[in-house]
Amino acid sequence: MKLWEYIIYRLILAFVVIFFVIVIVFFVSHVIPSNPAALWAGAHPTPEEIEKAKEMLHLNDPLIVQFYYYLSDLLHGDLGVSIRTHNPVLEDISKAFTATLELIIVAEFFAIIVGIALGVYSAVKKNSWVDNLSRLFAISGVSLPAFWFGMILQLLFFKQLGWLPLSGRVDTVVMLEHPLHVITGLYIFDSLITGNWAVFKNAIWHIILPAATLAMYPVGLITRQVRSMMIEVLQENYIRTARAYGVPNWKIYMKYALKNAIAPALIVVGLSLAYTLVGAFLVEIIFNWPGLGRYATYAILSMDYPAIIGVVIIAASAYVFINLIVDLIQMYLDPRIRV
Amino acid sequence: MKKEEIIRVMKILVRNKLSLLGLIIIIGLVITALFAPWLAPYPEQAKGEPNLEEKLQPPSSKHWFGTDYMGRDVLSRVIYGARISLIVAVAVVSLGLLIGVPLGLLAGFKGGAVDIIIMRITDIFLSFPPLLLALLISVTLGRGLENAIIALAVSWWPWYTRLIRGMAISIKEKPYVEVAKSLGISNWKIIARHILPNAISPVIVQGTMDMGSAILEASALSFLGLGVQPPTADWGLMVSQGKDYLLNFWWYPTFPGLAIFITVVAFNLVGDTLREILDPRLRRRFL
Amino acid sequence: MDKKILVATIVVIVIIIAAVGAYFAMSGEKKPGEQKPTPSTVIYGYMVEMITLDPSTEFSNSIVTLANLYEDLTKYVDGNIEPWLATSWESNSDATVWTFHLRENVKFHSGNPFTAEDVKWSIERTMRMGQGAAFIWDPVKEIKVIDDHTVEFDLKYSANLPLIASASYGAWIMDSKLLSSIGNDTQIADYLNKGHDAGTGPYYLASYDAKTQVVMKKFDDYWGGWNDKQFDIAIIKIVPDASLREQMVTSNQIQITRELPLDDIPELENNPNVKVDATPSYQELYGMLNTVKAPLNNKLVRQALAYATPYDDLVKYVLNGYGEVAKCPIPKGMPGYFDDLPTYSYDITKAKQLLDQAGYSNGFHLLLTYTAGDEAEKKVAELLKSSWSKIGVDLEIRALNWEQQWSFATSDPSKAQDVLIFYWWPTYPTPYDFLFNMFHSEEQPFFNLAYYNNSEFDHLIDQAVALEGTDMQKALSLYHQAEEILMEDSPALFLYNPDDVYVLSNTITGFKDNPGYPQVVFFYDLQKAS
């Protein structure tokens, strides 16, 4: 298979996946004994209201007709209206998406810095106690139940030390006194370029704990990956040559070794991106972060199918495309794994 | 895997301090689960009997891990929770193997259209964020332990299919299989006698390593209220219920969460070493 | 070469972003040196998102916003009907024609004067749309504008209209001149949900985000007038996490909140920064028993369950004492609550006797459903399981989403759950709302989830409601008879009435919970503590 054929295959696959997801979620949510009309009408509806809601949601039509309605709306870019919040799903999602994006970016930033530093250090001090400790740390990172770790951080940094806020994205009062001009929806970025220091500081303050929680998994992955790549690189001939020429150690590590180890490590970053997307589900609940994960979880728990399908389309697309890009980079770097 | 090889692997596992630690924890966990009724100070409370007079007591000599909102001994419930966690781990992985292995063998051995269809299906499953899939399935099937296990297994099997298909393809080319074929031995027999025994060991190893992730994912489902139903003692569920009590009654969510963490670390410590010995290039599974 | 291109691309992107940002930053006006006195702000930390801002259809929690933007004709206060937008009212002798005299010199937020035309238009729109709580107006045949400040309601049958007009749902009066210029009913709903309001209330809507916060500002021309101690800005901030709300109120980041973990309340009572306000609510928790499926189709078995229920423990441990044992189908404090009804109390021996008598000495299996996510219901279920096991009942507990729980319950009673736990609260405070919805016979199960069918009972409450407008005493005595039947038949367990527990920062005073308007904080009542 040529490269472009492979890309096309993967793209087709992505669409098939997403289509299947739509079909499955749609039919499942209509077949299982639930009652979207009741969800729509709210608590204590009258029989007439349930009838109205049924009509509005086309629940009296045959399932296949309902599906046709849904698909044709979808093709026009209309994801429908959330049964739970009565808002257009697209609007809900696009608001939530930037919140999640901001969280993921900061978490990955954390992860890359800590992961590379730890990885390089333990490769250099291979098999020392520091190396063992960093291995334990890395494995702990991938073993932590994020929802629990977030709570422990809250206990420590909020309740005990009082250093950081418990949850949320930014304080209401700060936002009121210093209205933020939203450009990208990433509060930290927006407040930075508009010079809104109060909001900037506040947003940074709020993002530390959730981002640290979310970063634990990628930190573990990146540390391990960087370590093993560094060990491999440090055994290469040119490193030995450099040593023989008396190039100082730090220069060898930073300039020669790390440069070669970093590309494969970035692949892990890409892969972990896909993970953090899902990890954000639980972290956002703990930290009351108004993002996609919290939205999705509540949608799934209440079987709000337009919202579920909407989120799944976004999440699955992101996951599929991140994986595709990662695979392509991997193929570019290491032609041996060409399909 | 030959006997000598197993012994060799075990030796390495024991020699490495960290994987030894992991092994010890896992063995301890199994013992805890098996002997829970004798180990737990208050087995009745672990099974759900309320003890209202002592609700939300901090850790003390009577209740080492404190008590929960019904006054039940958290230590006893954590001990009983080990059972659920092990059941989930074993059940998810074996169910995953049960679906994944036959499909992988079939795809690898038959090749052609069968292979293409099976592998495209696994591609579809694998291009789905896994926890999201499990979440959807278990909400669809309804809350409960069995359904959570099924949900996880369904999002799990394609990994095994992929792995065993690769093994099957390489074994298929081996001379003894060619010979068996030329002797007119039926396909089923060839699969059962030659391919399965030679392909299964890496899959079993992978399965063992996956148990940690299975426990972690199951606890996430429990945390969302989709797993075991109260009053059964389950770690994820206890953390979830303890969430509302976090700030004033810290012990309640802390200890069950710690149990999840330590257990998963133990499995991953062993798995990490196994991976280094057996196949360092094995791509790590993502949650 | 490719490296250079990469660097160049990044530089260009950064410059573009910075330029765009700078442009927006410049365009926002800056007023250096301008110092205004900080407006006084009060924040209500609320649990769930807002649903809609349309007063005609809103039938859930968004009244916490609407009740500060809009007003009803009458207000329900401690069992009495008091003037609000109407100053007085009277009816003919059989309560089928009601005349309301409206308050003068009232302005909408748009500046339009409030007149009888607005009353007619608002209620007719609600009735026409037929959603939410529109059914409360079912008795109304015609609304007549007599003059600018007098409006007459002609009814199809006798009803207590001033009570209905005080409803927390579906009775808000809107600015007809403003809204009718917007377009049809749907366009009006869209307009409102974009963050507009059209009320006469003390606050007007300044900004609205259903998921995060609602900001309201003081309406200077409010007919009730203002004093210095009241708040200029009132905010409803959505904070789903209970522990977070707790921390925020103790640190004065929010000034009022509710639904904190009840286990934390005793500690908060001792916290000098906050005060706890607990008043009985008009909510009751029921365990609906399946009266058409064995073994609960046997009255003796239902009575046995009622005796085997540890009522005091429920209140003590589930509510932490913030509530009362329900003695009757109607919550305490509401008309229709009677403390002289024969009632059940925890008595295992009696329960066993009844089971023996019914022929169920060997026990049986029952399925209980509750609404997933409701911690209190979960605890109640667990306590029932443990208590009922003493009389040989093996209780299976199943958590379902409310929609699933309800759809399971309304599908086929003979295959449905045996016990269903749920809350009921009134649309407006009348016993009929409770007795009719939950126990009046139905062709298709809807909210009568005990599937109870008793024509004598039906007859009594139907008679009673017709008398509510004219002879309340007679109506109450009929309700009393009907409730006696319920207690004897025991189609449901009457579990408890939880208190409304608010926690307030010490920086505010003047709060008074009004159970007729569930979860509403009337910001106008609040004052800065001196």
Residue A32 located in a structural domain: no
Nearest residue in chain B measured CA to CA from A166: B247
Quote the domain boundaries for residue A162: 89-333
The distance of A336 to chain B (nearest Cα, Å) reads 13
Which residue of chain B has the CA closest to A133? B18
Confidence band (pLDDT; 50, 70, 90) for A127? Answer: confident
Rounded distance between C-alpha atoms, residue A327 and residue A320, angstroms: 11
CB within 8 Å: C261 and B55:
no
Give percent of chain C above pLDDT 90.
63
CB A134 within 8 A of CB A122: yes
- Neighbours, chain A (3 or more CB pairs < 8 A): B, C
Best mutation target among C17, C54, C403 (most A Cβ atoms within 10 Å) is C403
pLDDT band at C34 (very low <50, low <70, confident <90, very high): very low
User: Of the candidates C307, C355, C368, which has an alpha carbon nearest to the alpha carbon of residue C493?
Assistant: C307
pLDDT surpasses 60 at C2: no
Q: How far apart are the first and last CA of chain B?
A: 28
Could you tell me if residue A20 is inside a domain?
A: no
User: Residues A209, A271: contact at Cβ < 8 Å?
Assistant: no
Residue A311 covered by a domain: yes
Task: Confirm or reject contact between B249 and chain C (CB < 8 A).
Answer: yes
The domain total for chain A is 1
Q: Contact A46/C25, CB-based, under 8 Å? A: no
Q: Helix or strand or coil: residue C359?
A: coil
Is A48 in contact with C373 (Cβ distance < 8 A)? no
Q: Break chain B down into helix, strand, coil percent, rounded to 5.
A: 75, 0, 25
- Which helix H or strand E contains C154, and what residues bound it? strand C150-155
Average pLDDT of chain A, as a whole number? 81
Give B-chain residues touching A330 at CB under 8 angstroms. none
Whether A29 shows a pLDDT value over 50: the answer reads: yes
* Nearest chain A Cα distance for residue C149, angstroms: 33
Q: How confident is the model at residue C74 (pLDDT cuts 50, 70, 90)?
A: very high
Lowest-confidence range among A33-47, A119-133, A308-322, C327-341? A33-47
**Contacts with B265 from chain A: Cβ below 8 Å:** 139-140, 143
Residue B223 included in any domain: yes
What confidence score (pLDDT) does residue A174 get? 78
φ, ψ of residue C341 in degrees (nearest 5): -75, 145
Is the Cβ of A117 closer than 8 Å to some Cβ of chain C?
no
Give me the domain span that covers residue B251.
3-277
Structural domain includes residue B158: yes
Residues of B in Cβ contact (< 8 Å) with C398: 143, 229
CB atoms within 10 A of CB C117: 15
pLDDT value at position C29? 40
CA separation for the pair C512, C527 (Å, rounded): 12
Of all residues in chain C, the one with the smallest CA distance to B241 is C375
List the single best residue of B240, B246, B272, B276 to mutate versus A (max A Cβ within 10 A). Answer: B246
Contact A150, A287 (CB under 8 A): yes
- Cβ–Cβ of C210/A87 closer than 8 Å? yes
pLDDT 10s digits, A129-176: 888 888 888 889 889 999 999 999 999 998 888 888 888 888 776 777
The pLDDT mean for chain C works out to 88
> Could you tell me the pLDDT band of residue A295, with boundaries at 50, 70 and 90?
confident
Q: Are C372 and C399 in contact (CB under 8 A)?
A: yes
How near does any CA of chain C get to the CA of B225, in Å?
A: 8
pLDDT band at A43 (very low <50, low <70, confident <90, very high): low
Model-level pTM? 0.81
Name every chain B residue with its beta carbon within 8 A of the beta carbon of C379. Answer: 69-70
Tens digits of per-residue pLDDT, C82-113?
999 999 999 998 889 999 999 999 999 999 99
Q: How confident is the model at residue C511 (pLDDT cuts 50, 70, 90)?
A: very high
In whole angstroms, what is the distance from residue C449 CA to residue C288 CA? 6
Single out the residue of C525, C122, C528, C496 nearest to residue C314, CA to CA. Answer: C496
Residue of B221, B228, B248 to mutate, testing the C interface (most C Cβ within 10 Å of its Cβ): B248
Chain C residue numbers with beta carbons less than 8 Å from the beta carbon of A32 are 404
Chain A hits for C437, Cβ within 8 Å: 44
Chains near C with 3+ CB pairs less than 8 A apart are A, B
Return the higher-pLDDT residue of B263 and A270. B263
Banded pLDDT at B186 (limits 50, 70, 90): confident
Asked if C385's CB is within 8 angstroms of B247's CB, the reply is: no
Task: Compute the radius of gyration of chain A from its Cα atoms.
Answer: 24
Question: In angstroms, rounded to a whole number, what is the distance separating the alpha carbons of residues B34 and B8?
Answer: 28
- How confident is the model over C504-520, as a mean pLDDT? 92
Whole-angstrom Cα distance, residue C413 to residue C398? 17
Whether C264 and chain B come into contact, CB under 8 Å, resolves to yes
Q: Band of the pLDDT at C1, cuts 50, 70, 90?
A: very low
* Mutant choice from C385, C388, C400, C407 vs B, greatest count of B C-beta within 10 A: C385
Mean pLDDT of B15-22: 85
A172-211: pLDDT as tens digits:
767 777 888 888 888 888 888 888 888 899 899 999 999 9
Closest among A277, A253, A270 to A119, alpha carbons compared: A253
| pLDDT over 70 percentage in chain B | 95
Any idea what DSSP says for residue A245? T
Closest residue to C135, CB basis, from A46, A176, A177: A46
Q: Do C401 and A87 touch (CB under 8 A)?
A: no
Q: Is the pLDDT of residue C33 over 50?
A: no
The DSSP-derived string for C92-136 is -TTS-EEEEEEPSS-B-TTSPBP-HHHHHHHHHHHHHH--TTGGG
Work out the percent of chain A whose per-residue pLDDT is above 70: 93
Contact between chains at B70 and C242 (C-beta distance less than 8 A): no
Under an 8 A CB cutoff, do A301 and C427 touch?
Answer: no
Q: What is the mean pLDDT of residues C245-261?
A: 89
Length of chain A in residues, anyone?
Answer: 339
**Any domain includes B156:** yes
pLDDT bucket at B53, cuts 50 / 70 / 90: confident
Percent of chain B exceeding pLDDT 90 equals 31
Residues of C in Cβ contact (< 8 Å) with B249? 263
Does any domain span residue A293? yes
Residue B270 belongs to a domain: yes
Query: Is the CB of B245 less than 8 angstroms away from the CB of C378?
Result: no
Chain C residue at shortest CA distance from B244: C243
Q: Does residue C11 register a pLDDT over 70?
A: no
Averaged pLDDT, B216-228: 88
Chain B residues within an 8 Å CB radius of C267:
248
Q: Cβ separation of C372 and B230 shorter than 8 Å?
A: no
Average pLDDT over residues A121-128: 82
Q: Which chains are within 8 Å of B by 3+ CB pairs?
A: A, C
Model confidence over A230-275: pLDDT tens digits?
887 777 777 778 778 877 777 777 777 777 767 767 777 777 777 7
Strands C527-528 and C508-509: antiparallel
Q: What does the alpha-carbon distance between residue C406 and residue B43 come to, in Å, rounded to a whole number?
A: 36
Segment 167-186 of chain A within 8 Å of chain C by CB: 167-168, 171-173, 176-177, 181, 183
Interface contact C374, partner B, CB < 8 A: no
Q: Mutate which of A19, A22, A134, A139 to disrupt the B interface (most B C-beta within 10 Å)?
A: A139
Read off the CATH number of the domain in which A142 is found: 1.10.3720.10
Find the range with the poorest average confidence among A248-252, C46-50, C271-275: A248-252
Whether A327 is in a domain gets the answer yes
Question: Tokens 């595709």 correspond to what residue?
Answer: A324
Least confident of B57-61, B84-88, C50-54, C502-506: C50-54
Q: How high is the pLDDT of residue A34?
A: 65
What mean pLDDT comes out for the span B118-125?
83
Q: Quick check: is B283 in a domain? A: no
Mean pLDDT value of segment C241-249: 83
Q: Kindly state the average pLDDT of the residues C170-191.
A: 92
Q: What is the pLDDT of residue C15?
A: 59
Chain B nearest C-alpha distance from C252 (Å): 17
Q: Report yes or no on A317 lying in a domain.
A: yes
Is B50 in the C-facing interface, judged by CB distances under 8 Å? yes
Of A171-180, B141-150, B201-210, least confident by mean pLDDT is A171-180
Mean pLDDT for the stretch of residues A211-226: 89
How high is the pLDDT of residue C166?
A: 94
- Banded model confidence at residue B285, pLDDT cuts 50, 70, 90: very low
B7: CATH: 1.10.3720.10
Q: Across residues C477-504, what is the average pLDDT?
A: 94
In this predicted structure, the answer to whether residue B282 has a pLDDT above a threshold of 60 is no
User: Tens digits of per-residue pLDDT, C337-382?
Assistant: 998 999 999 999 999 999 999 999 888 999 999 988 788 899 999 9
Residue A103 in any domain: the answer is yes
> CA C396 to CA C419: how far, in whole Å?
10
Count how many Cα atoms sit within 13 Å of the Cα of residue A230 in the half-sphere of its side chain. 25
Lowest mean pLDDT among B66-80, C21-35, C141-155: C21-35
- B47 near C CB under 8 A: no
Distance from CA of B38 to the nearest CA of C (A): 22
- Residue B140 in contact with partner chain C when CB distance is under 8 A: no
CA dist., res. A331 & res. A311, Å (int): 30
Cα A209–Cα A211–Cα A214 angle in degrees, nearest 5: 110
Q: What pLDDT is stored for residue C133 in this prediction?
A: 83
Q: Is the pLDDT of residue B283 over 50?
A: no
Which of A16, A28, A136 comes nearest B140 by C-beta? A28
Average pLDDT over residues C260-270: 88
β-pair partners for B17: none
Residue B286 domain-assigned (yes or no): no
pLDDT at position B37, please?
92
Look at residue C30 in the predicted model and tell me its pLDDT. 39
* Closest Cβ opposite residue C386 in set B50, B246, B248: B50
| Residues from chain C contacting residue A29 (CB–CB below 8 Å) | none
Contact (Cβ atoms closer than 8 angstroms) between residue C9 and residue C199: no
Which residues on chain C are in Cβ contact (under 8 Å) with B50?
317, 382-383, 386
Per-residue confidence (pLDDT) for residue C407, from 0 to 100: 81
Please check whether residue A266 lies inside any domain of the structure.
yes
Residues of B in contact with C315 (CB under 8 A): none
Q: Domain count of chain B?
A: 1
Report the C-alpha gap between C42 and C46 in whole angstroms: 13
Task: Tokens for B27, please give them.
Answer: 């063995």
Average pLDDT in the B228-241 region?
A: 87
pLDDT at B2: 61
Given this model, what pLDDT does residue C31 score? 40
